[in-house]
Each structure stands twice: as structure tokens, then as C-alpha cells.
Structure 1
Amino acid sequence: MPHSLKVRAVAMFEAVQEIAIYIHRFHNLDLFQQGWYQIKITMRWEDDEDVSFGIPARVVQYEARDLGPSSIYGIWRIDDTDNSFSTQPFRIKYARQDIHLCMMISFNLSLGRFEVLPTTAVILKFELMYAPTFENGADLQASLDAYPAAVHEFRIPPKALLGLHSYCPVHFDALHAVLVDVSIHVSLLKAASTAPRNSRNAEFVANKSYDTLDQGLSDAASVKLKAFMIVKALLTAHGILLEELQKLSKAVDQAIDIPEFVSKRNDMKLINSVPQANQFTTEVEISGQRMPQNGLEGADRALDFETAEKLRSLSKRELLNCYHSVGNRLLYLWNIFLKFHRDNKTKILEFLHDAWAKDRKAEWSIWMVYSKVEMPHHYINSGVHRRVSSLWKLPDEPPQTAATRAELHRRSIAQMRINNRSIQDMHIFGDPSSIPIVIVERVMNAPRRTISDNSYLRQGHHLDLRLIRNQWLLIDPKVEFLMSETNEDKTSGDFREMGHRLAQEVISFVRKKMDKASRYGNLGDIRLSFVGHSIGNLIIRTALAESMMEPFLRYLYTYVSVSGPHLGYLYSSNSLFNSGLWLLKKLKGTQCIHQLTFTDDQDIQNTFIYKLCKKTLDHFRHIILLSSPQDGYVPYHSARIELCQAASRDKSKKGRVFLEMLNDCLDQIRANPSEHRVFMRCDVNFDATSYGKNLNSFIGRAAHIEFLESDIFARFIMWSFPELFR
């Protein structure tokens, strides 16, 4: 009986995923505690939460730190038990402190668990470790190792693993507000060879059974298919990396000396028979957030039919030689890239950051719905109590309709195809359906103005608005803040008194900053912006009406109103909340409650809010009104400064006065033809399922407080319209 042959595959065509992480700077935005901090990094495949598969491969300290021994302790370390990398511990002493870490750590992830290329994402985990200031020596490291103070994870989808070059800001969480400037760089590389380059990629073993022949031939075909896919992926990765390197070289205006044998593939007879780099990527736009597709499907689309067939026609030995040739060139180019990045770190980081910032509006558009409406004409009330609308209809979306619209959009998110070619922040992409839905209504009045990059002054209202302050700082690090404390524990009195105190506090702050800037000769354009929450908005507007503020009104720039009762509680539909207001008036005689409910004077046209509606809003260049149909503490129409159904049906003096106040406010917001003003209403719809069934959610308080405890909605709005906050 003749002998048969069995083909046994030898693992030669192997690839490895290398992910380089540049940790540039740790910036303390708003840490509550001084002490020692450390950043710990691990990496794993998404489908295995228990094991860290990323192996630290290389560490480079590319710049000497300018910190003394009192600010930094020990050295960086790699822990073999969990394959983690930890930076040196560093000491945080004050807000807005910078620690320049200047480190690069790269991780290797083996692809041995996959048949060819990765089919699952990579999870990149940053942990913020903390130890009190008094800890030192061995006790310090033990305390740091105890548990993380905060965690921030990112997801690198499979289709981004062939090539990704992106800025990646690490913020941790609202209680540990920092900014770690990080850039992520990903490439597929050839794994270390396990066999001589010219060895055969299959060996033949005598076997006495005919039944194994088909299996052997099948194994041989499988080896060639894997070789074909690996070589094709390496060629694509080479093309991505080469184009990215050339783009960065142009962006930072620094030439790169790339040897011809790396930048071109037609210098060898073997490479002449396979596709050139540009044939893989001619139709792919490479940027920090837009990467070509990965995997078998993506690779096939990157090749035209003729090129793919040419590659398929190569023998196994030719594929092996091609694998080594392309793999060596790719590794050489990868090392050039890493060195070029270190040598031009500042300019490259700025370039990647700008690309990241430009992509925010598109990246987060999943949770934002945009619409445009024309600025309405006056709503007229006749002497016989009949209203005639002059091109002004009642709002199409009362609170219930707005909430329903947002909920339908939330449900549709589960059916959306989320961008899978860029790094994903798991604070947002971890559970997309729980993220607030923001409905942006742009009220068209005049073209948006082009805004310069000059610094300006901004005044916030309350310490609880620190999350919005932190986002503003990320957009414009030069901004100066006043977190007003003058009315702390004094918000139950007269709005006039609170406004007077705030005006004094603002003037003192602005003059102090102006005097300091003048002494150093760098007093530029002054922009004074305000952010208020709830009744803080009325305090802000009252302060602006003070005569002492007159010289500063010309500096007013952006006004962000977060759920502010601008039209009072004349038509509040929340009966439980109204009962609470009634009790406060009866039991405590709180003056501001009387003013909010128009009972501070017998004549409604002599009340505080009626008079306030005639001034203050016209001085701002841009106005953003944030509201939520889930917020039962502030009437929906009052926060949005728009008509409500109850007022439209009210033929009494109360109804006429409401329309007069509404028209007065809109007249101030309406820009003159020569002016350019942005006026937006933004509906924020939170995930109500997270509230549960309790009193806060029942009376509508949960959403009112959520404005202070969540910053995702502010991140969406501010990064989508950054020109309004610079």
C-alpha cells in the first residue's frame, strides 16, 4: 500500500499588535486632595475581563523632568503579576498644577488566539492611584497599590488596530477632575520569527493512512490563506503608517529622512509582484480619528481585484519572503515614527489635539439632535383679550412632546452603527443608551460671527458649576474664573440684595485681573461671560442691572443659563412644587419666593421679575438656554423663554403681562441687523431609568440636580460649539 503524506503547518506567519502610549502631561483641574498620585496602565482584549494580555514591551523617558525630590518619588515600574505599567509617584500640591511626565510605554498583544487578525477590541485602562502626603518610602508604594482612586477606560475597535494615531485625553471622573495629555499610536507588526527565513513553511511526514491526505491538503491551504491575509494586512499597515508619518512631517514642518527601501517597495523583484503601498490606501483618508477598515472584509476592499489576485498567486515560499521583507520594513518605519514623535512631541501633540477637537461634533452627534427655527415676531394681545399671532405659532414641543422625542431617539441609538475606526471613551461609549440626549435648537437671527482667540474673563455663579468650569478650562486654559461665594447661604432674601452683592464681587474680581494684566502689559480683549444655575440666573441678571456694572456691560460675551426661571413661576404646572412654594411663603415669608411667584406686589406690573424682563439680556453676544422637560423645579417654558399653552389660553391681565414679559426678553435677544449673535435653546434629556422611583424623581428634582452632577451634556455642547467659549 503506498504511503500518503500529511502536511503539518509550522507557525511562521505571525503578527503582533503594538500600542504605544505617550504620557505627556498630568494637569490638575480639580482634585479635592493633595497628596501622591500615580498613573497605572493595563491593556487587555475586550472579551476577557480577567486577564491582561498586553505585555509592556518598551519604556522611554524622552525628556528629563524639572521636578525636585519633594515632588516626585521613586521610579516607574512594570508589574509582572498583571502586566501593568506605573509611572513614578508625583506630588500634587495645588489646583492647575502641571506635572510633565514625558514617557512612552508600548504594549505588545499577541494575535495567537485569533485565526488571522483580531476580531475583538482592545480595552486600555488608566487607573489613578492615590496616597496621602504623609506617606513615604515603602509605605507610600503600599498605599498607592491598595486601590485606585478613579478609573478611565478606552476602547480601540478591531477596525482601528491596523493603524490609529490619536490624541486621547484622560479625565478620570467628576470627583477626580484632571487632564492627562495622552496620544495613542497603534500598528500591526511582524512577530519575532520562529524559523529561518528560507525554511519551508510546511513539512511532509510519512503516514500510512490515506484518510489523512485530505486533511493535510486542507492544512496547507489554511496556511497559505493565513499567509495571504497576514501579508496583505502588513502591507496595509505599512501604507497607513507611511502616510501618517508624511502627514505629521508636513504638519510640524520637519523633514524626515526615510530610506528609499522603506518608503518605496519596488526595489526588489519580489515586491514588484505584489501591490504597492499607495494601492492600499489611495481612497482612505488618514487622520487622528479616521482610519481605514481592518479585518478580512476591510482588507479585501482595500485591494482591487487584479492586485488581490496577484498576491494570491504567490507561492508559499514567495509569501514567506514577502512577509519577512514587508515586516522588516514596517518595523523599521515604526521605529522611525516613534523617534520622530519624541523629537517633535509638542507640535505633534498640538496637531493631534486639534484633529481630535475638530472631530468632537461628529463623534458625539449620536446623542445630539439639531434643528433651526426663525426668531419669532411679537405675539400680540388685543384689547378684547383675543390674541393674534404674527407669524408666531405655539411651541410644537411642550415638555411631554420633547421628552417623548428624546426617548425615541435614545431607543434608536441601540440600532445605530457607532463609529468603529476611532478610540472610544468608555465613559460615553460604555453604555450609549444611558447618555443624555441633547436637542439643540438654533434660533436664527443673524450669521454666526467669526471669533478671535483672544483671552477673556469669565465669571461663574456657584461652586456646584465646577464641572462646567472644568470643561471651559479644557477649551480655553487661559480663562480666569470667579466661582461666586458672596451669596452663599444668603439665597432666601431679596433678589435685589443678592444681585447687588454679586455685582460688587464681579467688579472687584474684574478690576483686580485687569490691573494685574495692565502691569505686565498683556491686557488684551476682555470678554466677560456668565454661567448660572436655577435662580442663580436671576441673580446674575439682577447684578447686570446694577448701575455700578454699567462700565462693564460692553465686555459681556457668552451667557449660559442652566435651567433658569427667567419668566418666573407664573404658569408652573408642577402642583407638588407649587405647594412647597406656598408653604415657604406662609411659614418663612421668603422674599425671593414671593418674587418668583409674582406676589411681591399687589400690582403684577410692579413686581420684580416683570421689571427685570425689560433689561440685561441685550448686552450678551451669545446666549445659550439649557432646559430639561424632566426638570420639575423650573417651568419648561420659563427656562427656554418661550410661550406656554396655559398662557396662550389665559385672557386675563395675568396672560397679557406674561406675553409682555416674553416679548421684552425676546426683543433683547433679537439682534439688530448689524449685529451677529448666536441664540440657542438646548434640551437635555437624562436617562431617567438611573433615578429609580423616589421622591426626587417624582417631583422633578432629580433632573434639576443632574445638571450639577453630570458634565457629559456640557462636554457635548461646549466642544460642539467651541468658538462660543474662547
Structure 2
Amino acid sequence: MFLIFYKAKEGLLREMSFQGALYSDLPVLASDLPYFPPEEDDEEFEDGIHLVVCVHGLDGNSADLRLVKTFIELGLPGSRLDFLMSERNQSDTFADFDTMTDRLLDEIVQHIQLYNLTIGKISFIGHSLGNIIIRSVLTRPRFRCYLPKLHTFLSLSGPTWERSTTTARLWLMQKLKKSGSLLQLTFRDHVDPRQTFLYLLSQKPGLQFFKNVVLVASPQDRYVPFHSARIEMCKTALKDRTTGPVYTEMINNLLLPLVEAKKCQLIRQNVFHALPNTANTLIGRAAHIAVLDSELFLEKFFLVAGLDYFK
């Protein structure tokens, strides 16, 4: 049976002229623990629990990251993990970022106080717009006491900014919703781009306090451009003499502190999904959502690499 599998795999690689590595080639996985371990007695963890805050994106809800939570729990059984599936913004994700930041911060503080949690680590997992709200929370004075406890920031298709990509969609949503967040996301909240919310946010410390900053991006995603999710330059920005320098400054503002932080590692993960030929695939929505609802991707991602970031 194994011989048939290896012959089929080698034949596929030759046919595709594929030069990369496959999951099945890796000798060591991120976790060797069984999905369903034997029951164990609860023990006291002197160093506290690991709080994982999951934040949905635009027009999303608290259930969006349920599969992400499930695969982490399955992959790390017995770990002292506590998940906060954020829901405070789900009724209005079109508010301005300051308002949504206050809501998420209140939710985190209230969750810790309500359950009398002793925090050992705090990690954040965000999808799309939710990653900007997370970054904004890190800058608030009320959160300052938790900065030394930051562990992993996992960004699933999180934008640095949006300027010209999916213009028609953003324009239509802006007209229908009168959205403060979309104005800020597209740099239209101030005439001076260096006074916009996103530019000012890029100047504030935050990401460098994490031990792991993981940026997951897909070139198939046209809702959040590949370069935006990876926090890197693009050819369009280089050619734009007006906004190009601003975007360059934002990238430097975000990346230089990460590079200089000795205890922080930056990881970029590129994802290529097997997607059907549908309208959602054509407009890039399918890839944008696949990081949340593709069981194949999530299981492989966490089993091969992702679980390491939550240990």
C-alpha cells in the first residue's frame, strides 16, 4: 500500500515539475500528541493560563474562527488554553477603529475579571479587519500591563492597508454602510495620509512585544492583497509617487521594531488553496474565507507548523 502511495506521489511530482516540499516529506510534525488523550486530573498551573483571543473580520461574527479554535485544542490536548471568541463588535463592524478597539479591550478585561483568570500568556488570532483592531488594542494604556505576557500574533489575511484593490466593492460597501472603518482602511479619513489612523497606528509599538508574529497570506486572495497581508512593498506602491513613500514608511514603522526585537520572530506563511471555479473564486473571496473554513488547510497548517506557536 505504501509503495503504491510513494509511486503515485513521485509520478505526480514529475508531472507537475514541482520543486518544493510536501507535508508528507517532513520527518517531524508540530505535535506528536494524540487528538484524544486519556483523561487526566486537573492540575494547578502556577504560571497561569494561556489566553487566546480570536477576532473576526468585517461583517463577521464570533463563530468565524471556531475551526481554528477546534484544531488548536485537538492538537494541544491537556494544554491550559482559554479561548475568548470575541463577539462585542459583531453587531457593527462598520464603526470606526477607535470604537471597535474600545469594545474589544473592554471584552478582554471583563473576561479576565469575570473568570478571575491568572494570565501566563496572551495570544491573538485575527482574520482580515480583526487584525487591525488587535494591533490597536496593543497601543492602549489599559492593556500595557499585559504586554510582557504577549506570546503569538497569528494574522489570517490581515491587511496593512487598502488603497486601490477591490475599489468597486469597498466603494459600494462604503456608500451602503457609511462605514468609518472602511474610510480609515482606504486612507480617506484625513487629507494628509500621514495623519490617517493606519499611518499613526504603524508608528505605535505593539507587534514587537510578541514572541511570534505569523502572517498568513494567499496570492489568490483579492480582498486583502498578498503584499498587504505580508506587510511588504508592491510594484504599484513603488510607482506611486504620492502614496508610495507613505506606504514605505508604514512598512518600515511596522517591520524595523520586529527585526530589532531579539525575542521576536517574524514568520510569513504563503497559502495556495485548491478552489473550485466559481464566482467567489474569481473575485478572490473564496481564498479570503478559506483560511477560516477549509478543514484541509487548517489541519495541515496547525499540525505541520502552527501548533508550535501556541505551546
- TM-score w.r.t. structure 2 length? 0.79
More helix by share: 2
Residues in 2 aligned to 1:558 and 1:715: alpha-carbon distance in whole angstroms: 18
Q: Which residue of 1 aligns with 2:53?
A: 459
Do 1:605 and 1:611's aligned partners in 2 also have CA atoms closer than 8 Å?
Answer: yes
Per-residue CA shift, 1:52-92, capped at 9, x if unaligned?
xxxxxxxxxxxxxxxxxxxxxxxxxxxxxxxxxxxxxxxxx
1:711 counterpart (273, 291, 295)? 295
| Cα shift at 1:558 | 0.3
Query: Secondary structure of 1:456's match?
Result: strand
Query: Secondary structure of 2:260's match?
Result: coil
Residues in 2 aligned to 1:584 and 1:410: alpha-carbon distance in whole angstroms: 44
Q: Which residue of 2 aligns with 1:569?
A: 162
Identity over aligned pairs, percent: 36
Distance 1:633 1:159, change over 3 A: closer
| Cα shift at 1:698 | 1.7
Structure 2 counterparts to residues 638-649 of structure 1, below 5 A? 638-649=228-239
Residues in 2 aligned to 1:418 and 1:718: alpha-carbon distance in whole angstroms: 12
Distance 1:552 1:697, change over 3 A: same
Per-residue CA shift, 1:567-621, capped at 9, x if unaligned?
x11253xxxx211212233343211111111001111111111111122212211
Distance 1:159 1:412, change over 3 A: closer
Query: Secondary structure of 1:464's match?
Result: coil
Q: Which residue of 2 aligns with 1:494?
A: 96
Q: Which residue of 1 aligns with 2:147?
A: 553
Query: Secondary structure of 1:599's match?
Result: coil
1:471 counterpart (62, 71, 74)? 71
Residues in 1 aligned to 2:168 and 2:23: alpha-carbon distance in whole angstroms: 45
Residues in 1 aligned to 2:24 and 2:152: alpha-carbon distance in whole angstroms: 32
- TM-score w.r.t. structure 1 length? 0.35
Residues in 1 aligned to 2:189 and 2:22: alpha-carbon distance in whole angstroms: 54
> For residue 483 of structure 1, what is the amino acid of its counterpart?
M
Q: Runs (4+) of structure 1 moved beyond 6 Å? A: 416-420
Residues in 1 aligned to 2:179 and 2:232: alpha-carbon distance in whole angstroms: 27
Do 1:718 and 1:725's aligned partners in 2 also have CA atoms closer than 8 Å?
Answer: no
Distance 1:718 1:671, change over 3 A: farther
| Cα shift at 1:418 | 9.8
Query: Secondary structure of 2:215's match?
Result: strand
Distance 1:419 1:471, change over 3 A: closer
Q: Which residue of 2 aligns with 1:651?
A: 241
1:592 counterpart (177, 181, 195)? 181
| Cα shift at 1:676 | 2.6
Residues in 2 aligned to 1:458 and 1:592: alpha-carbon distance in whole angstroms: 24
Residues in 1 aligned to 2:177 and 2:74: alpha-carbon distance in whole angstroms: 42
More strand by share: 1
1:697 counterpart (281, 288, 296)? 281
Matched positions, count = 274
Do 1:563 and 1:639's aligned partners in 2 also have CA atoms closer than 8 Å?
Answer: yes
Distance 1:664 1:418, change over 3 A: closer
Residues in 2 aligned to 1:569 and 1:548: alpha-carbon distance in whole angstroms: 29
Residues in 2 aligned to 1:696 and 1:512: alpha-carbon distance in whole angstroms: 41
2:261 counterpart of 1:667: no
Residues in 1 aligned to 2:199 and 2:238: alpha-carbon distance in whole angstroms: 18
Q: Which residue of 2 aligns with 1:68?
A: none
Q: Give 5+ residue unaligned stretches, structure 2.
A: 26-46, 56-61
Query: Secondary structure of 1:480's match?
Result: strand
Deviates more, 1:453-462 or 1:676-685: 453-462
Do 1:475 and 1:725's aligned partners in 2 also have CA atoms closer than 8 Å?
Answer: no
| Cα shift at 1:531 | 0.3
Do 1:571 and 1:635's aligned partners in 2 also have CA atoms closer than 8 Å?
Answer: no
Structure 2 counterparts to residues 244-263 of structure 1, below 5 A? none
- CA-based RMSD of the aligned residues comes to 2.9
2:274 counterpart of 1:684: no
| Cα shift at 1:640 | 0.3
Residues in 1 aligned to 2:112 and 2:179: alpha-carbon distance in whole angstroms: 32
> For residue 569 of structure 1, what is the amino acid of its counterpart?
E
> For residue 708 of structure 1, what is the amino acid of its counterpart?
L
2:310 counterpart of 1:725: yes
Distance 1:501 1:631, change over 3 A: same
Do 1:581 and 1:593's aligned partners in 2 also have CA atoms closer than 8 Å?
Answer: yes
Do 2:212 and 2:309's aligned partners in 1 also have CA atoms closer than 8 Å?
Answer: yes
Do 1:500 and 1:542's aligned partners in 2 also have CA atoms closer than 8 Å?
Answer: no
Q: Give 5+ residue unaligned stretches, structure 1.
A: 1-120, 122-156, 161-365, 367-407, 421-452, 517-522
| Cα shift at 1:699 | 1.0
Where relative contact order (Cα < 8 A, 6+ residues apart) is larger, the structure is 2
| Cα shift at 1:537 | 0.6
Residues in 2 aligned to 1:680 and 1:480: alpha-carbon distance in whole angstroms: 24
Residues in 2 aligned to 1:417 and 1:668: alpha-carbon distance in whole angstroms: 33
Query: Secondary structure of 1:460's match?
Result: strand
| Cα shift at 1:539 | 1.3
2:126 counterpart (526, 532, 553)? 532
